[in-house]
Amino acid sequence: MPIFSFGYGSASPTGPLLTLANATGGKYFSSPTSLAEIVDAFLQANAIATDNQNLASTTYSIDSTQSASQPIYVDSGLDNINVFVNHNADLADLELALFDGAGTLVTDIDFNCIDTASTQSCSANISNQKLSAHGAGQWQLQLTNLNQSTSLTAAVNVSAEPSLSGTYSVNVEGVDGNAVTYPAPMILTTAITKDKLITGANVKATITDPNQVKSELEMFDNGIGGDAVSGDGIYSVIAPYNQNGIYQVEVHVDNNDSNAVYTTTGLLTPTIDGSVPEAETLPSIDENFVRIAKTSLVVSDVPYSDSNDSYYLSDDLTPSNAGIEGMVDSQGDLDFYQIENIDTTSEFVVRVSDLSLGMKPSLTLYKSDGITVIDQDITLDTNPSKTGYVFYKVATTDLESTLYAAVQHEDTPATTG
Ligand SMILES: [Ca+2]
Ligand SMILES: [Ca+2]
Ligand SMILES: [Ca+2]
């Protein structure tokens, strides 16, 4: 039986909750601290446990007298759509209006609102009959802040039941479940199905790191960059990370440019005589569909190692082959090391090894004043070892009892490595 665990607040025991979810095929959701977040977390869990689909999960900040618009794409695979709005304004201050796929104001569906202490909860149900009457296509939920002076925050969630003919369904996971242990890469996979797997759709992942910094990554079904098989309906991306903690992942899927097609790649039954198996004829996908899916991954064992960016506060690195762990902690990070008590009568070699998370080191070596450059731009290209690390032998004429080494990422925009 899958168990869904919810970490509530910052002091919740992530480890046991994660293990519980992983061990039972469930999922772990972290830190839902507001009513809107709890609604969202339960809708996500419900979508995984049932065939229910999530179409939107967006938070809007709306200035006084301004409007925001949430598109709700209604396709043939949806029945009984529920729209939830949680907001922090007075009930009378937020006007909610639905428009159908033809752009016509929908007057026969009402929002029911509950006024609680700090959050107002409104919801509307678009029943099967109403869906049939108004038709599919891109609906809009318009949110208007009627207050003349104050802005408001509103969280919109839209979920739906699958129609009897089946529905487009999306699942997102880490390639090894919820847990990522350094130095393993964080590989996200998304599967899109409607009975069969679907390739060619647009898949975008938004990743929120433990500092609440968001990054957007496109996911591809092209067999490269972490994607195992091209065209099999499983989309992948390698996501960067540089610290321990919880990474929230939201995947948005659509067929806006009508390129989605069913695929049987990877599913063809081998023939007895070894001939190429015949693919069955697959129907075309003639409509847009929009889905979102979420998961959270917990990263652990990342070494914290933000050595100083300048030589005069650098970390000590002993000339004993012991090594020190280094890490690109942020974009442009430089880690400076001081190497003292060097035996200037022996050969002296500096290595940058155990490279992970796409690290391409650029090493600079300085003399004992920390300023005079011995050599710079020492990389895997210029100074490779036989086993894939950077290997630099310091010339005897450059050797002093103290040297400095600085390591940064060869790719200037890189934020991890
Ligand atoms: Ca694939
Ligand atoms: Ca660092
Ligand atoms: Ca640094």
Give, for all 417 residues of the chain, the pLDDT tens digit.
Answer: 778 888 877 677 877 888 888 788 777 877 667 777 888 888 888 887 788 999 999 999 999 999 999 999 999 999 999 999 999 999 999 999 999 999 999 999 999 999 877 889 999 999 999 999 999 999 999 999 999 999 999 999 999 999 988 999 999 999 888 889 988 999 999 999 998 999 999 999 999 999 889 999 999 999 998 899 999 999 999 998 988 999 999 999 999 999 999 998 866 666 777 777 676 778 899 999 999 999 989 999 987 777 788 888 888 898 888 888 888 988 899 999 999 999 999 999 999 998 988 899 999 999 999 999 999 999 999 999 998 899 999 999 999 999 999 999 999 999 888
| Interval between CA 286 and ligand 1 midpoint (Å) | 22
| Distance (Å) of CA 352 to CA 4, 385, 387 | 42, 10, 11
Instruction: Return d(Cα 153, Cα 118) in angstroms, integer.
Output: 12
Residue 178: per-residue pLDDT: 84
Tokens of 8: 């509530």
Q: What is the pTM of this model?
A: 0.79
CATH of 34-162, picked from 3.90.1300.10, 2.60.120.380, 2.40.420.20, 3.30.70.20, is 2.60.120.380
Residue 364: per-residue pLDDT: 97
For residue 326, give the ligand nearest its CA: 2
Instruction: Return d(Cα 47, Cα 158) in angstroms, integer.
Output: 11
Instruction: Return d(Cα 140, Cα 72) in angstroms, integer.
Output: 6
| Interval between CA 178 and ligand 2 midpoint (Å) | 26
| Interval between CA 298 and ligand 3 midpoint (Å) | 24
Residue 45: per-residue pLDDT: 82
| Interval between CA 353 and ligand 2 midpoint (Å) | 15
CATH of 169-300, picked from 3.50.50.60, 2.60.40.1930, 3.20.20.30, 3.40.640.10, is 2.60.40.1930
Q: Are strands 78-87 and 186-194 parallel, antiparallel or unpaired?
A: unpaired
| Interval between CA 327 and ligand 1 midpoint (Å) | 30
| Interval between CA 227 and ligand 1 midpoint (Å) | 5
With b meaning 16 or more CB within 10 Å and e meaning fewer, what string describes 19-43? eebbeeebbbbbbbebbbbebbbbb
What pairs with residue 253 in β-bridges?
203, 291
| Interval between CA 144 and ligand 2 midpoint (Å) | 46
For residue 229, give the ligand nearest its CA: 1
Residue 268: per-residue pLDDT: 64
| Interval between CA 256 and ligand 1 midpoint (Å) | 20
| Interval between CA 137 and ligand 2 midpoint (Å) | 50
Task: Give yes or no for a contact between 112 and 122, defined as CB atoms under 8 angstroms apart.
Answer: yes
